[in-house]
Amino acid sequence: MDSDALTSSQPSYPKSRILLFLLIAVSGFAADLWTKHWVFDWLGMPPGQTYWIWEGYVGIQTALNPGALFGMGAEIRWIFPILSILAAVGIVFWLFAAGAAKDLYLTGALSSVTGGIFGNLYDRLGLWHAPNQPDQWHNEVRDWILFSYGEHVWPNFNIADCLLVCGACLLVWRSFHDTASDSASAKPASGGS
């Protein structure tokens, strides 16, 4: 087989996208793990005290989530690590084997999602130990950011959740942006005849 044919069949994207992907995913993952470790060492295991940054609105409070979004699916928690690994493999394939890394926004969004996936996967696999309980195994996701308004309390979340949501929002924005640009380019240019 001709080496030129082999090279032309491979997706082309700037090699700096690999560096960007790793930078966002790894730094997001590291920030998530560090903040969880710090907060749980500081406030302890739930139920712990609440430290208010803005009294009644924004606080820090430790919580454990055995399920997925809002604690749903706690009874089938074994499936979430499998889905997380499949999603991460799919993202890497889509970006670098299928060539989606050509798009800077897509690379940034999927990098953020990957950092979030690995942050929560780390917890789900039980790779962390509770402060003062080094022999006790936990496989719940550690959450610590608290939002409330009066009697309404948003379920606690963490940096990994923020990465997942920001990446998903960027994906949605990009899909609308692509749709708008595709429909604009599909319209024939109007001109006089």
Task: Find the distance separating the first CA and the last CA of the chain, reported in whole Å.
Answer: 50
| Residue 161: active-site member | yes
Predicted confidence (pLDDT) at residue 114 exceeds the cutoff of 80: yes
Give the CA dihedral 151, 72, 63, 86, nearest 10 degrees: -140
Per-residue pLDDT of 64-97, as tens digits, reads: 998 776 666 667 778 899 999 999 999 999 999 9
Under 8 Å CB-to-CB from 14, ≥6 apart: which residues?
101, 102
Q: What percent of the chain has pLDDT over 90?
A: 64
The sign one gets for the Cα dihedral 159, 161, 165, 171 is: positive
Predicted confidence (pLDDT) at residue 179 exceeds the cutoff of 80: no
Helix (H) or strand (E) holding 164: helix 159-186
More confident: 85 or 7: 85
| Residue 182: active-site member | no
- Which of 108, 140, 136 minimizes the C-alpha distance to 121? 140
Which residue among 123, 161, 178, 182 is the active-site one?
161
Give this prediction's pTM: 0.83
For the chain, the average pLDDT equals: 86
| pLDDT at 145 (0 to 100) | 97
Under 8 Å CB-to-CB from 50, ≥6 apart: which residues?
59, 60, 61, 146
More confident: 88 or 129: 88
Which residue among 2, 123, 143, 178 is the active-site one?
143
Domains in the chain: boundaries: 14-176
Q: Could you give the CA distance from residue 85 to residue 164 in angstroms, rounded to a whole number? A: 14
